[in-house]
Amino acid sequence: MSRLKTEYEKNGFYSPVSVIDASLAKDYRVILENVESKIELLNYRYKIHTALDFAYQIAINEKLLNKVETLLGPNILLYNTSFVIKEPHSKTHISWHQDLTYWGFNDDNQVAAWVALSDATEENGCMHMIPGSHKNGEMSHKPTVDKDNLLHHGQTIESVQVEDAISLPLKAGEASLHHGWTMHTSYPNQSKDRRIGLTINYISTDMYQTQTDNDSAMLVRGVDNYNHFENEQPPTQEFDKKAWLKLQKKEALIHQTYNKMKK
């Protein structure tokens, strides 16, 4: 068994993984911020790989997909991508949680990649994870109201043994991989620069959505013999405005799914 799979199965995460070089990460950041200057801030917008080409290119990066294949097998769907951005000296944070809690999937054959477009450090709010916490399955989450919490329902795991947590700093162009049941958090950005990451969620092709029949995904490796999701298309240009409008309709569906799971 590879070191990647051994550590991932033991800890519920693996880091760091080299994906792109730092200069390309910087170029991608320029594109992102140029789009933001014309449209709006792209923080936490869903399925952004269908509208922004470089997000799609990162998601299908061969180095990254090779790592994901080691964990999921040869048949892989790209389910979602979102930017997770913390502005300088902001109170924005993400509470202790598990990713899979609100997604409505039938199973947990999923891997999340978090790709840094700027350095992610202790100062600017890199992720912290509890090793081995994925082995406990789903934990109870309490919805909270906190305008600074990036999670939609402020879902929070209480009574976390924070002294067991390990921080996962990343250089621009590096990624971490984690399981959807791994407990993790990130603290506010106390630096003078933005902390920019792209989170990418991959699932095996046998997975399906239990809350709606209209969810979508994109086959990025292997074959899909199940066809549980509507097929998504990659963007046709650097920023695909038509896809952006379609994406906003998809977001409404995802929020509906989240609300169902909340109940």
pLDDT in tens, 10-28: 999 999 999 999 999 999 9
| Contact between 19 and 38 (Cβ < 8 Å) | no
Contacts from 120-124 at CB under 8 Å and sequence distance 24+?
Answer: 120/168, 120/169, 120/170, 120/195, 120/197, 121/169, 121/191, 121/195, 122/167, 122/169, 123/189, 123/190, 123/191, 124/86, 124/189, 124/190, 124/191, 124/193, 124/195
User: Is residue 86's pLDDT more than 60?
Assistant: yes
Q: What is the CATH number of the domain that holds 37?
A: 2.60.120.620
Q: In which band, very low, low, confident or very high, does the pLDDT at 196 lie, cut at 50, 70 and 90?
A: very high
User: Residue 146's pLDDT is what?
Assistant: 64
Percent of the chain past pLDDT 70, that is, above it, reads 90
> Taking the mean position of all CA atoms in its chain, how far away is CA 152?
14
pTM over 0.85: yes
Contacts of residue 38, defined as CB under 8 A and 6 or more positions apart, other chains included, come to none
Q: What percent of the chain has pLDDT over 90?
A: 69
Q: How many domains, the chain? A: 1
Q: Is the pLDDT of residue 259 over 70?
A: no
pLDDT band for position 255 (cuts 50, 70, 90) = low
Burial of 246 (0-12, 13-18, 19+ CB in 10 A): middle
Residue 132 and residue 8: Cα distance in Å, rounded? 9
pLDDT for the residue numbered 3: 94
Torsion angle in degrees (nearest 10) through CA of 17, 67, 45, 12: -80
Q: Mean per-residue pLDDT for 200-215?
A: 93
- State the residue range of the domain holding 112: 3-262
Predicted confidence (pLDDT) per residue in 108-159, tens digit = 999 999 999 999 999 999 999 999 999 988 777 766 666 766 666 556 677 7
Average pLDDT, the chain: 90
